[in-house]
Structure formats: C-alpha cells, structure tokens
Amino acid sequence: MDDPRRLALEVLTRIERDEAFANLALASALDRADLDRRDRAFVTDLVYGTTRMRRACDHMVDRFLHDEVEPSVRSVLRMGAYQIHWGGVPAHAAVSATVAVAPRRVRGLCNAVLRRVSENEPNPPTRAIELSYPDWIIETLTADLGEADAVEALRVMNRPAPAVTREDGYHQDRASQLVSEVVADGLTNGAKVVDLCAAPGGKATAMASTGARVLAADRHQRRLNLVRSNAEGLGLDLEVVVADATQPPFRPASFDRVLVDAPCSGLGVLRRRADSRWRVTPDDVTELADLQLSMLIAALPLVASGGMLVYSVCTLTAAETTGVDEQFREATGAVPVGPPTAPWRVNGAGGLLLPQDLDAEGMAVFCYTVT
C-alpha cells in the first residue's frame, strides 16, 4: 500500500515545479496508486487543501526559513503547515509523518521548521494572506460585492464542494441547476434551444430532459465529445455542433431560448478548482468580459419573437456580470427581463448566487426578452 503523504507530496511538487494542473496531476497519481477510499480522500484533501492555502502556508513557513528552498522541500513544508493549522491533523503526527516523506538530506531542516510552525499561531498580517488568495482577488471582490459578502464567499471557497447529483444521476452543482431552470422556465415541449457554449453539457442535458429540442454548440471539438457522451449516458437526444459563439452559424430568429454560458474567470467556482486562484489574472477578467460581450451581441439575433436570451457566468466580478450587461444593453437596446426570484439575489438587472447562499457555486445570470 502506498503512503498517502508521499503521494500527495509527489503531486504537490509536480504542481509547484512543473505548473501541472492540480486536478489532472491528482487524478493520474490516484489512478496509479494502491490506496483505499479513506487514503484517497486524505491525499485529495492534502493536495487541494495545501494548494488552496498555499499563500497562508508560505507565510507561516517563511518566518522560519533563512534561504529559499527547492520546490520539493517547499512542498513538504507547505503540506506540513496545512495539516497543522488547517487540515485538522494533530501537530505531532503531522510533523513526524510529513518529515518521514521528505527527501532524506533535508529531513533535519523540515523537522526544525515544522516544529516551529506547530508552536506558533499563523497571525496573518493581511486578509489576503489569512484567506490565502492573491491580493487582486480580495480587492476586486471586496469592491464588487462589499467586504462582508466577499470575505464570506472567499472563506466558503476554501472548503471542498459538496457532491451533488441530479435526479437523472448527472453530477451538477445546485447553482448550475438553477441556471438551467431559469432558461427552461416557461418553455413548452419541443421548443428550440441553443446552448452556444455547451461543453461539458451540464445545462444542455438538463434542458433536454425537460422535453426541449436542444442544440449544443461549443468551439472545442474535444470538449464537445464530452457533451455527446454525457447525453448518450443519460439516454438524451441532443444535437451537437462545433461553432464559435462570436460567429454562430445559425439562422436568425430560429430559437425560443439562446443560452450564452460564457467562458469566464471562474471566481465563483474556486472551491472546485484548487489552483485556479493562482492562475487567473486581472487581464483575463478584462479579456473575458470583452469576449462575453461579443458573444451576446452575436447571440441576440438568433432569438425568435417571444423568446429569451440568457447570459450566465460562474464568476463574481462586476466586470463580467453587471458590466457586460450594461454594455450589451447600451450596444443593442436589449430588454432585460429583470432578476430571477429567490434564492437569486438581485444584481443590477440580473441575479447572483454567492457560494455561501446554497453552499454551492457562485453564479450570475441575466435574461433578455425579444418581442
């Protein structure tokens, strides 16, 4: 049987040294390993927890380090600090078991540093260090949501997401399910729906299961294959097509519902993507907001008279939600339906769910009618 801490350390070192994606590196390590369910869950918590709390761990560890250390040693120290202060592992066990999987030549150093870490409280000097996010994320969300909501959202996104399964067996977060419900509201059987950014197909399959005729489009063929296999697995009839949502190759006024579930900075789903907070940049937010706007402008003409356009994102920045909505309405004169009802919060002309609202993902949605 493999040692869970040794495996977690390998994965953390790959993330740190090779910039590997946390979910992919973890999945491939777990596939190769011989571990029971409990140990697999422990490895997952060590990898995701240490990755999320990276900044808080570094602050703790750096106080007791005189020189920079190589990635594998940093990973040992972070993983030790995470267990001691955030992972709920008793300090003596966390120190000795973590030192035991450190490279032999640095065990003395790791032991000395982790003992000091265990004897001291974190005492973070800033909120960003305490909650372990880059400064810009704290600043942006505090400005956009207000301090109390932003801090609570960021706190919740440091905890693992609960697993949620739809009635048909598909794994989909509750907040995403609520977006599909907004789109499907008032739809009659056989109505035509296009999801312009459909992969992996969570919302497209949910809408197809209500009896709508759903066309699932996405720019990326490989991701579109996921839609196809998800639909087949659920026994749903769903048409798929590769298409760029900024230039959708469909006839005008041909759909009762058009969904633009756009690519976004993902700041509402950070609990599912442990390393994402360290990858996303402020420039991404600006570029993605521009892309979302051009998708909406291209999507509007596809809506038939009496139909509805829905814009959704799994992020919480004002730039990608109310900002895009305002620019879109100014550019096109599109008419907003108004915010959906509770549990959605009112967010300008649209609705917002914060991660703390349903212990789920953060999502924003805006609807426009076409007469």
Ligand X SMILES: C[S@@+](CC[C@H](N)C(=O)[O-])C[C@H]1O[C@@H](n2cnc3c(N)ncnc32)[C@H](O)[C@@H]1O
List residues binding ligand X (CB under 6 A): 176, 195-203, 218-220, 223, 244-246, 261, 263
Residue 190: other Cβ atoms inside 10 A: 9
Looking at the Cβ atoms of 36 and 168, the one nearer to ligand X is 168
Closest distance between ligand X and the C-beta of residue 328, in Å? 16
Hey, what amino acid is at 354?
L
Residue 175 CB, nearest approach to ligand X (Å): 11
Work out how close the CB of 88 gets to ligand X at its nearest, in angstroms, rounded to a whole number.
33
Side chain identity at residue 147, one-letter code: E
Closest distance of CB 243 from ligand X, Å: 6
Q: Which is nearer to ligand X, 69 or 245 (CB)?
A: 245
Task: Mark whether 314 is an active-site residue.
Answer: yes
**Min CB(361)–ligand X separation in Å:** 11
| Cα distance between residue 276 and residue 266, in whole Å | 8
Closer to ligand X by CB, 36 or 244: give it. Answer: 244
Cα-based distances in Å from 106 to 2, 7, 102, 231, 306: 21, 18, 7, 51, 69
- Residue 171 structure tokens: 């794994």
Question: For ligand X, which is the closer residue by CB, 110 or 199?
Answer: 199
HSE (CB half, 13 Å, CA atoms) of 226? Answer: 14
- Quote the CA–CA distance of 348 and 366 in Å, as a whole number: 9
Nearer to ligand X, 127 or 174 (CB): 174
The C-alpha R_g of the chain, in whole angstroms, comes to: 23
- CA 229 → CA 226, 237, 240, 252, distances in Å? 5, 11, 11, 29
Q: Are strands 303-313 and 255-261 parallel, antiparallel or unpaired?
A: parallel
Catalytic-role residue among 57, 110, 197, 314? 314
Residues with catalytic roles: 314
